Amino acid sequence: MSARRPATADKSFSLAEERRRLEAVAQWYDSGSGLGRQLVRSAAARILARAGGRRALELGCANGLMTRELVKRFSHLDVVEGAESYAEQARSLVPSEGEVYHCLFEEFEPSSRYDVIVMAWVLEHVADPRALLARAGGWLCPEGTMHIVVPNAGSLHRRAGLKMGMLDRLDELNESDLAIGHRRVYTWERLGDDIAAAGLHLVEMEGILLKPLPNAMVESWHQELRAAFFELAALAPRLCSEIYAVCRHPGNGDSTDSADGLR
């Protein structure tokens, strides 16, 4: 596995600084706590309902909640994780056929291709998301699929924050975004543009969780009420908390208008 500087417009980017950023967040962030646990499981259910093949790659595992779901389906699961503590947790979860790589995404060089690549809550963190998407596209098997989850800048709760004067614009990074190391939040259009710019074909896009209030308030709801708002996501996908997208290499049997009906 060879390290190389990523192609990025961010001239201040350095591998050492990126490692420091990740380790700082990993000291306190727990992806399996609070509402985050339900979000990860909901995203995993969508991925497992659409993913095929036996070889999968997870980029960024945090505390391993998504990893635990992926190992139920894939006999070979590789994980790439930049934070040492997260990588160590993943080693206890990954099956014997798989491997955990403690390195940055920009350093990773796989030895073979994958049927499925999972980028859940990754693109909002990296310095150059289009470069990562393009590189990861080269790691897919010809018929493979890439599964992406990102926070939605146009979500209902962010729109409420804008109306209340808590945000100056929908894609503004708030205190929570900055604390967790977000470099951006995504609109549906921006995610579609990044996927297209990376040379990938967008197959499907939908929303996860119609969330009218911040996490702390939603976490106080009864379990059945929270579950209802996950189910309501299909009614207003562009107002949901998260965006889920599936993409693949162009020309693999996808019609040119397959993205027209995106929900």
Q: What is the pLDDT of residues 137-168, one digit of tens each?
A: 999 999 999 999 999 999 999 999 999 999 99
- What is the pLDDT of the chain when averaged over all its residues? 90
- Look up the pTM and report it: 0.90
pLDDT of residue 31: 79
Amino acid found at 202? L
**CATH code that applies to domain 15-248:** 3.40.50.150
CA–CA distance, 240 with 258 (Å, rounded to integer): 22
Measure the CA–CA gap between 193 and 206, rounded to whole angstroms: 16
Average pLDDT over residues 118-141: 97
Give tens-digit pLDDT for 204-240.
999 999 999 999 999 999 999 999 999 999 999 999 9
* φ, ψ at 244 (rounded to 5°): -115, 130
